[in-house]
Each structure stands twice: as structure tokens, then as C-alpha cells.
Chain A
Amino acid sequence: MRGGEGASRAPVLQLTNCRILRGRRLLREDLWVREGRILDPEKLFFEERLLADQRRDCGGCILAPGFIDVQINGGFGVDFSQATEDVGSGVALVAQRILSHGVTSFCPTLVTSPPEVYHKVLPQIPVKSGGPHGAGVLGVHLEGPFISREKRGAHPEAYLRSFEANAFHDVLATYGSLDNVRIVTLAPELGRSREVIRALTARGICVSLGHSVADLQVAEEAVQSGATFITHLFNAMLPFHHRDPGIVGLLTSDRLPPGRHIFYGMISDGIHTNPAALRIAHRAHPQEEPLGPSGGVPEPGCPHTPSSVPGGPYPPPPQSLPSLLSRHQDPVRQHSSDGRVHPAFPAGHRLQCGVSPGGCVAAPRPATGTGEAQGHPGLRG
């Protein structure tokens, strides 16, 4: 049944028998889409006077915005920090394989490396739209080398650097071009970090604090200079202390610029952090969005194998967020302990009208057995 328009009008697709994430709740609602944009069906009914042209039964699945993985070092045998001639293939492979884990966009992450590696690798990882072929590349996440020696974790000490001498020029000299860079993790206690943070944010690059021994005041100053993210909260930073909460204290700091949101990633594999710690972080500031890197630990075959990383052995991969999710009753609800759900990402995407979903995922109903998350890359906006 149509309104008065001709057959050239774009078809309206109605996804039925599904649960969608809206207003921080899972609702039993149909999702209406036309030309890759989510529609307000009430408006469609009363103003355009149209019904759906096609209907698709989603079998009770959850339709959620695809996960955005902002910290993933590789996977499936690929290590993004390895300077090969064909980094692009590795990125494409990972992009394709993470789709079934519900990730529809990601930031390939490079750990601390010598300048030659950055100069060779970065130009080979352009920003790329996702689709059925693979998750979209939002830009590279450069985790290091401007980080704390003490908190370097698994990063190679030899390649740590400082920008005390020439601030932003040191940054450019180290990385080469910043064209494909989306996030930089640095330690704000390093000299001239505030200048560097301002210069990076002026170029639209997200600055994240991590691998650092900064106290709360230094962290607050970094945020005032433009930092908006915390890399794997709790790990590779000073632990929370009641007289100086350190970087963790940013979650409840009252010295942040008004209206500024702090986002944080967490490695929620149950090994890097205790779930109780994650819940404390979430309850401290429920509006702030926690994100989980999907690649918790590198696989054998990557340079950072269990044998080469101090403190090993590590559990078999992928002890990652998506596979954790697949083992739980209600994958999306697992983001939050109090039963509320957050579409977990800082880019502001929501399943709201007028927005291109930018990749949506159908998460299956809880199955009786465990197994891999079987998402379907559903829509492409």
C-alpha cells in the first residue's frame, strides 16, 4: 500500500521481530530503514502515508550499532606493528574476520616502534569505509612511543621516546605523516605534553592517556589541554589511591572543562581487570561510555607471543570482549552491571532517526551452548 508517489521512490525496509537499542534500553520495536538511513515510522505513516515495501524477520535478534574497536593490535596471525610490504592485506584480513565478532569499525593499533616502522606502515593503512567485505578503518591508533618507561608494559623499552626537546616536531619526526592517524596514546607527565596534546587535538586527533605514572592533577591538565580518552583504564597506570586517584580519578574529577566527556577503554577479558573494578568505573560515572578493545591478547605467531612477553604465559586467544559477549546470556546487556546498556563508543552513533547506522549488527538470542558470536553484518549505512 503506497502513497501517491511513483515507483521511483526508494523502497522502505521494515525489520521485524527484533529488539533494538534505544534510550539505553532494549526495546521490542521494529526498525525502519530507507536508503541506508533509519526512519521514524510514525512520521512515515502520518506525513508520507507509506507502509513498508519489504519486511525482514530478524528471528528475535538484537539489532545494535556495530562495535567500534579503538584498540586492536592485530589478530588472526596479523600484527599491525610489523613493517611488511603489504600491511594492507593484514588489515583487510582482520577487518573481515572481526565482523563476525560484531565489530564494524576499528582503529588498527601500533605499539611502541622505531620511526622506520611508522614511516613504512602508516601510509599503508588508509581510512576506509566498511561493508560486507570488512569492518571500516577509522584511522590508526598509535599507542606509544611517548609513554612512561615504568608503565611500558609489553612495549619494547628501546624504542620509547620523549618530546621534551622539540614537542610536536618530535612527534612528526617519529611518526612521519599523521594523515591516517586517529588516536594517539601518550603519557601526560612527559615534558611539553600539553603543547603536544593541543597540537594533536587541533588536527582532529584524539589524544588518549595511558602507559603513564601521571597523578590526577597532571591528568586533569592533560584533559584541559584536549585529551578525551583513557587507554585501558586501570592497566599500565598508577592504581587508584584515595589520596591521589591518578588517571582513574578523571572519571569523577570536577576539574574538567564543562561539557567535556571522558571516554575510556577497558580490557574486560577477566584477566587484565577484575570485573568488580569495571563495575566501579561504570558506576562512578554511568554516562561515560566504557569501551572494550576486542583484541585482548596477541596470538602465537605474532611478535608478542607468550614466550617473548614478560609476565607470561598468557591464555589462548582470543580472550576478547566479543567472545566474552558470546558466552553471556545477553551480550549487549553485559556492558553494564546494572542492566542498562550503552552503545559503546565515543563517536556519538545511536540508533536514532536520520542517522546512517554505519554498520549494524544482529546479535543472536542467547543460545543454550556456548560458541562464537554469530553476528550478521546487517545494514550498511
Chain B
Amino acid sequence: MHRSSEVKHVASYLNTRGCECFGQPCESHCPVLTDRTIHVQLKTFIKIRVKPDRTGVVTDGVKHSMNPFCEIAVEEAIKLKEKKLVKEVVAVSCGPQQVQETIRTALAMGADRGIHVEVSGKDYETLGPLQVSKIFAALAKKEQADLIILGKQAIDDDCNQTGQMIAALLDWPQGTFASEMTLEADKMKVVREVDGGLETIKIKLPAVVTADLRLNTPRYATLPNIMKAKKKKIANVKPADLGVDVCSRLEVLKVDEPPQRQAGVKVETVDDLVGKLKEAGRV
């Protein structure tokens, strides 16, 4: 079973291909859903299947959309622009042609322009945090960015590495798992959600911040904004143009489904329980 902090996350992403409940409808696993359960149930849930050659999961025909944490990141960037604390919000995504739709969503939410870093085919399948962070580091230098905001992790691979790696490559300070961020002069005050509670830090700009769940609630794109977004530009860039090699240093050996949950055994008394545990060699 999941720890309670994880359950909430799983509950939010019923629409995703990264759902942790392999093959099971989410709601039957997660008893700690809020009263949003009712309409959440109406969503179709994706049954994650491992490819027959065990090199990965099946992604054909699975709906792809913006990572929820990234939505929160975009929302925060737009909030900063609305407060007139930043001049321009640029939405960036790496991947094949389809990611343009995701960039358009960011534009419809209020980003000023987009950059599509084209990575497709085999390169895309092996694209991981290290390559993405190299691309972002190169772009940050090219665009002279002052702040990079990302989602804390992607919900399909749960790597939680890209933000940190970008900061390391650029030698910039980082504020990860942000549940609050406030710009104070040239420093960013970040309240981080850590296992022990909340940690407040102040980091100098330029910096990297990764967004956690409670940072904000992303806005809907309104219809007029969707129409306006059509006029906003999405630039096309290739990793080679940025001097980045997207070749992966990792090789996936195999991917397996988690073992099927075995049936439990009910016992009548505590003595029986101890006896059974001893039998199983657990005690």
C-alpha cells in the first residue's frame, strides 16, 4: 500500500500513463480519496501494460498531456508575470511533434512564447533527465534566463532529477519541492516541502525551482486565451543546435510488472499469527 502522502498524488493522476497502480483501477486501491471521488470515477483510467519484449511500457494510443507538476510550474511563472515581477515567460518542451500541443496549452494559460526542442524516434525513447537538463542548461544560457521553474518530477518515470541536474550544470542555486515561492529583491524565498516538514530558504537569482503539488492551483485556459495563443510563436530547435548530445548512457535491460499480489491468510488468534510468521521464517 502507499504512504498517505503518495496516495493523494496517485489519486490526482488517474488520467495518466504513469499511474502507479499497474493494471488496477486506481480508486479501488486508494481509500484516502477526497469527496472528489465521484466525478474522478468518471474518468477513464489507463491500464498500463508492459511491452511484450519487456523493454518498456506500451505508449501507443495512450493520451499524452502536460505533466501535472509542470502545469503548476507554468501557473507559477504566469503568476509572477501578472505581478509584473518577470518580463517574459517562455514555455519549453523536448520531444516529438506532439509536444507542440502541450506548449500551446502553456501559451493558452498565458506564457508569451514557446520553444520546441525536437527529439523524436529512438532518441525520444531514451531521453532522460540528464539529456533534458543539458538541453535546458544550454537554452538558459542562450535565452539569458533568470529563473527556471519545472515540475518536481514527471509522473511517468518519477525521476525527480531534471531540476537538480540543471542547477548543477549551470552552477545555479536550486529550490526544490517548492510549496511557496516569493521574489524578494534579487533573492527567491522558497518554502520547501521536505520529509520533516517545511524548510524555508533564500536563493540568489538566477536559480532553478521545482514545483510541488501545493504551490498553486493551475488555471483553466479560457477560450479567448486559446484563440490568442494561436498567434504566439513556438520556435523550433534541435539538440545539436544547442551542442547537446542526446545519446543515453543508460540501457534498459528489462521492465516487469510488479508481482501479482498474493492472497493473504486469515488467522484466529495471536498465537496462530506468531506460529505462521515463524513458519514463513519472518520471526
- Chains A and B form a bound pair: no
- Mark A residues whose CB is within 8 Å of B: none
- Mark B residues whose CB is within 8 Å of A: none
